[in-house]
Amino acid sequence: MPHPVDPVNISPIPPLQDSYTYHSVLPPSVGSSDKTDENEGWMMGIDEAGRGRPMVYAAAYCPLSFKSTLEEIGFDDSKALSADTRQALWESVDQHVPLCYSSTTLSPQDISRNMLRRVPVNLNRQAEDATIGLISSALERGVNVKECYVDALGPAPQWQARLTAIFPTITFTVCPKADSLFKIVGAASIIAKVTRDRYVHDWVDPEDVDLDGSIPVKKEGDDPVSRGSGYPSDPKTQVYLKEGLDPVFGYKGLVRFSWATVKVLMDKQGVECKWIDDQAQTSAASWFGADADNGRPKVWRDLGVTGVGEL
């Protein structure tokens, strides 16, 4: 279920089982027909944090007239700032009206479900959908977006052309390092990074929630779980993945099973499972008569099916 408020304000953070989008409050003038500035143009910046557990996309947006003030706040590429500075900048967002934001948090479970479908939806496509969704939501809420700056996702020219085709009334600038070139993207970078960090460092596994639905509170003196940054090059993340692997059940909800790093570990340390459906297909193949070309039963080939489940 969607969280009622931004997760950075929740303590403890509820388990993240579903993807959701959060919107900050808009100024009263937006979408109000009795205001003289209802058609004022706005600028938007979009950036992401994390390519997995979870992935957070954020959009920061403000009136074009607010640009000079925005330049003085100190937003920048979140990776170039300390955790304390990022937190202070995030807290300053609500103090700088009319700077607004939205964030879409993709849960590890949803990412894996999409990537492991029969027709996979890769991570880039899910990221593109999140970006398009953030822009669409702002327009639907009455924000008159005229300029949008996006940190590059793959080849910048192609992505910029696609966004322009979808939203022809908006002027797009898509480029690498946009979070350090444009302050509005830097603001989005801060929002995405702080949101994701709170999930990673204060993660609550759904399996650990009490039967009454209450979230366990860490006791004083409990050793914090060191999960690292979530990137495969991080030694702490490597240790967490190796020590947290159950050879039969894999990992808890924080780790997405579609991650190549996880697939390698599970192949090496996991127990191989034989599914009943695998045996059923073999049995049915011998009963119906196997297709000499590809091992499928002839009747399956004639019907255009690939497995017992489709029969």
- The H-or-E segment that residue 22 falls in is strand 20-23
For the chain, the farthest-separated pair of C-alpha atoms sits apart, in whole angstroms, at 76
Please give the order of strands across the beta sheet that includes 100-106.
20-23, 100-106, 55-63, 42-49, 145-151, 171-175
Q: How many CB atoms lie within 10 A of CB 90?
A: 20
Helix or strand or coil: residue 80?
Answer: helix
**Annotated binding residue at 47?**
yes
Of 194, 159, 161, the C-alpha closest to 60 is 194
Nearest to 102, CA basis, from 165, 41, 25: 25
Q: State yes or no: 128 annotated in a binding site.
A: no
Strands 42-49 and 145-151: parallel
- The angle at the Cα of 194, spanning 86 to 142, to the nearest 5 degrees, equals 105
- Check the annotation: does 246 bind a ligand: no
How many angstroms from the chain centroid is the CA of residue 280? 38
Residues forming the annotated binding site? 47-48, 151
Residues forming the annotated binding site for a divalent metal cation? 47-48, 151
